[in-house]
C-alpha cells in the first residue's frame, strides 16, 4: 500500500514539472512502492548440514558456555537419534512432551530446569518438543538450542502456543526464540510416509499464509516461494516410498526452514487460527489438522485473497491453479487423505469451530466471510474442487 504522505513529499521534490510529466512520475513512484519495505532480521544462528547433529552440536553448546543442560525430547525421538555427544553437559531430561503444550506440562518442565539450575535448554524433536522448550524459556528466560526432527518450522519463530483448559493461546515473545538451530536432514530419514506429508503441509501452510499476509514484503515473498518450491519437489521425489532419499529430505528440511522464517515475519492466517482451535479445543494433531484443512484454505486464498502476481508465482511452482485437487491428490499418494470428519470432528464441533474462528478474520481476509462456513464444510467432507 502506498504511503500517501511520503508520496506527496517525493512529488514535491519534482515540483515545476508539467502535469503530464508529474503524472508519469507519480505512476513510477506508486509502482516503486511495491518494493519498499522494512525487514527486521531475527537474532538466531543457523547451522544446516548433513551430519550436523554429531559434528556441530557440541561446538554450539560450547559457544553458549553452558554448564548444565536441560534436554527436552521424547522417548521415541531419543531411541531414533541414538547417542548424544557425551561432552554435552546434560544434567536432566524432560521427556513427557504432549501436543499443544498443556500449561501444566510446561510448568513441570520449568520446575525440573529450576531444580537442576540449568543454564541451557536443548530441544531435540518436532513442533511439540520445540513448543515445550519455548514455554520453559518463556518462564525462565533460559536460552534454547533447537534440533528439529520434523518439518514444523516453529524453531525459527518467536511464537509459542500454550493450551490451558482447552483453549490454545498464542504468545509472541523474543524470549522463546531459540538462539541456535541445528538442522541435520539425517534426523528426518526415520519419518514415516504419513508424518512426512502432514508435517510438510504444516510448513506449506506457513508459506501460503505469508503470501496472503498484509505484513509480507519482498523478503518474505522470496522465502515463501522458495519454501513452496523446495517442499513441493521434495514431496514429489519421495512419492515412490523411498524415505531414505537424502536429497529429498534435505529439500523438505530447507523448505521448512524457509517457511518458518515466513511465519516469524509475516505471521499466521485464518488457516492457523482454525488449526489451533481444532487442536487446542478438540485435540486434533496439529499436523493432521493442517493436512486436512490446507487444500481448502489455500484454494480460498487463491480465489479470494492472492494478487494476480502471487497467483502467477504459485501456478509456476505447482503447474496448476486448482490447488485443492493438487494437494488432495498429493495427500492420497502418501496415504494421508483424511477429512475433518474422519479425524473425529462432529457436525456440532464444526459449527463451533466456525463460530470461534469466523469472527477472527482480519480485514485482509474479509472477502472470505461469505464462503467461510462452506470452506469448513468441504474440509469436513473432503471434497475435490468441481
The CATH number linked to 255 is 1.20.1090.10
b/e burial code for range 156-174 (CB count within 10 A of at least 16 → b): bbbbbbbbeeeebeeeeee
Asked if residue 68 and residue 181 are part of one domain, the reply reads yes
Q: Are 241 and 99 part of one and the same domain? A: no
Q: Whole-angstrom Cα distance, residue 311 to residue 317?
A: 10
Residue 19 lies in a domain: no
Q: Please check whether residues 147 and 223 belong to one and the same domain.
A: no
Task: Judge whether 15 lies within some domain.
Answer: no
Residue 383 is predicted with a pLDDT of: 66
Beta-bridge mates of residue 170: 161
- For residues 64 and 155, membership in a common domain is answered with yes
What does the pLDDT profile of the chain (386 residues) look like in tens digits?
Answer: 444 444 344 433 434 444 554 454 444 444 444 567 787 788 889 999 999 999 999 999 999 999 999 999 999 999 999 899 999 999 999 999 998 899 999 999 999 999 999 999 999 999 999 999 999 999 999 999 999 999 989 999 998 989 888 777 889 999 999 999 999 999 999 898 889 998 999 999 999 999 998 888 889 999 999 999 999 999 999 987 788 999 999 999 999 999 999 888 888 788 888 887 888 788 777 778 888 889 999 999 999 999 999 999 999 999 999 999 999 999 888 877 678 888 888 999 989 888 888 888 888 888 988 988 898 999 898 865 55
- Choose among 306, 308, 316, 302: nearest CA to 375: 302
Same domain for 206 and 108, yes or no, is no
In a shared domain, residues 151 and 215: no
Report CA Rg, the chain: 22
Cell 514429489, located at residue: 236
Instruction: Decide if 335 contacts 194 (C-beta within 8 A).
Output: yes
Task: Identify the domain boundary among 172, 187, 202.
Answer: 187
Shared-domain flag, residues 178 and 233? no
Which of 187, 211, 244 is the C-terminal boundary of a domain? 187
Taking the C-alpha atoms of residue 292 and residue 337, their distance in angstroms, rounded to an integer, is 7
Residue 214 pLDDT: 86
User: Within this chain, do residues 50 and 178 fall inside the same structural domain, yes or no?
Assistant: yes
Q: Is residue 211 part of a domain?
A: yes
CA gap 258, 266 in Å, rounded: 12
Report yes or no on 64 lying in a domain: yes
Q: Which of 187, 219, 238 is the last residue in one of the domains? A: 187
Of 46, 84, 73, 65, give the one whose Cα is nearest residue 223. 46
Residue identified by cell 503441509 is 201
Q: What span, in angstroms and rounded, lies between the C-alpha atoms of 322 and 324?
A: 5
Examine residue 310 and state whether it is found in any structural domain, yes or no. yes
Residues of the domain holding 352: 192-381
Closest CA to 157 of 183, 115, 190, 127: 127
Same domain, 270 and 179: no
User: The cell 473425529 sits on which residue?
Assistant: 344
Q: Answer yes or no: do 213 and 328 share one domain.
A: yes
Q: Is 188 left (phi over 0), alpha (psi -120 to 50) or beta?
A: alpha
Give the domain CATH number at 121.
Answer: 3.40.50.1970
Question: Do 130 and 225 have their domain in common?
Answer: no
Q: What is the pLDDT of residue 41?
A: 81
Is residue 273 in some structural domain?
Answer: yes
Is position 23 within any domain?
no
Q: What total of structural domains would you count in the chain?
A: 2
| CA 270/CA 186 separation, integer angstroms | 33
> What's the chain look like in SS3?
CCCHHHHHHHHHCCCCCCHHHHHHHHHHHHHHHHHCCCCCCCCCEEEECCCHHHHCHHHHHHHCCCCCEEEECCHHHHHHHCCCCCCCCEEEEECCCCCCCEHHHHHHHHHHHHHCCCCEEEEEECHHHHHHHHHHHHHHCCCEEEEECCCCCHHHCCEEEEEECCEEEEEECHHHCCCEEEECHHHHCCCCHHHHHHHHHHHHHHHHHHHHCCCCCHHHHHHHHHHHHHHHHHHHHHCCCCCCCHHHHHHHHHHHHHHHHHHHHHCCCHHHHHHHHHHHCCCCCHHHHHHHHHHHHHHHHHHHCCCHHHHHHHHHHHCCCCHHHHHHHHHHHCCCCCCCCCCCCCHHHHHHHHHHHHCCCCHHHHHHHHHHHHHHHHHHHCCCCC
The model's pTM: 0.85
Within a domain: 105: yes
Instruction: For residues 371 and 222, state if they share a domain.
Output: yes
Amino acid at each position: 500500500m502506498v504511503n500517501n504522505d511520503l508520496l506527496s513529499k517525493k512529488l514535491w521534490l519534482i515540483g515545476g514539472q508539467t502535469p503530464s510529466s508529474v503524472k508519469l512520475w507519480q505512476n513510477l513512484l506508486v509502482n516503486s512502492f511495491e518494493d519498499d519495505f522494512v525487514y527486521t532480521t531475527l537474532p538466531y544462528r543457523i547451522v544446516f548440514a548433513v551430519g550436523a547433529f554429531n559434528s556441530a552440536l557440541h561446538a554450539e553448546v560450547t559457544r553458549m558456555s553452558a554448564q548444565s543442560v536441560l534436554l527436552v525430547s521424547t522417548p521415541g525421538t531419543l531411541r531414533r537419534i541414538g547417542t548424544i555427544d557425551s561432552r554435552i553437559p546434560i544434567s536432566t531430561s524432560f521427556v513427557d512432551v504432549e501436543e499443544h503444550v498443556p500449561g501444566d506440562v510446561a510448568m513441570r518442565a520449568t520446575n525440573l530446569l529450576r531444580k537442576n539450575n540449568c543454564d541451557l535448554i536443548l530441544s531435540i524433536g518436532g513442533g511439540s518438543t520445540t513448543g515445550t522448550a519455548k514455554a520453559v524459556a518463556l518462564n525462565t528466560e533460559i536460552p534454547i538450542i533447537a534440533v528439529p526432527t520434523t518439518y514444523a518450522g516453529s524453531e525459527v519463530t518467536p511464537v509459542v502456543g500454550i493450551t490451558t483448559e482447552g483453549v490454545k493461546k498464542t504468545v509472541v515473545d523474543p524470549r522463546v526464540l531459540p538462539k541456535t538451530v541445528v538442522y541435520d536432514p539425517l534426523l528426518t530419514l526415520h519419518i514415516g510416509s504419513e508424518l512426512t506429508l502432514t508435517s510438510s503441509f504444516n510448513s506449506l501452510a506457513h508459506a501460503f499464509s505469508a503470501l496472503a499476509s498484509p505484513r509480507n514484503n519482498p523478503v518474505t515473498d522470496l522465502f515463501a516461494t522458495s519454501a513452496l518450491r523446495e517442499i513441493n519437489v521434495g514431496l514429489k521425489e519421495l512419492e515412490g516410498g523411498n524415505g531414505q532419499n537424502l536429497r529429498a529430505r534435505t529439500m523438505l528440511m530447507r523448505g521448512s526452514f524457509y517457511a518458518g522464517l515466513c511465519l516469524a515475519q509475516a505471521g499466521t492466517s485464518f488457516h492457523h487460527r482454525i488449526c489451533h482451535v481444532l487442536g487446542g479445543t478438540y485435540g486434533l494433531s496439529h499436523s493432521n489438522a493442517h493436512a486436512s484443512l490446507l487444500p481448502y484454505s489455500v484454494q480460498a486464498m487463491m480465489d479470494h485473497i492472492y494478487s494476480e502476481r502471487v497467483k502467477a508465482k504459485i501456478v509456476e511452482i505447482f503447474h496448476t491453479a486448482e490447488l485443492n485437487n493438487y494437494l488432495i491428490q498429493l495427500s492420497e499418494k502418501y496415504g494421508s487423505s483424511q477429512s475433518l470428519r474422519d479425524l473425529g470432528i462432529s457436525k456440532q464441533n464444526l459449527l463451533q469451530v466456525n463460530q470461534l474462528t469466523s469472527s477472527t478474520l482480519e480485514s485482509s481476509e474479509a472477502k472470505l466471510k461469505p464462503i467461510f462456513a462452506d470452506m469448513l464444510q468441504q474440509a469436513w467432507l473432503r471434497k475435490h474442487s468441481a
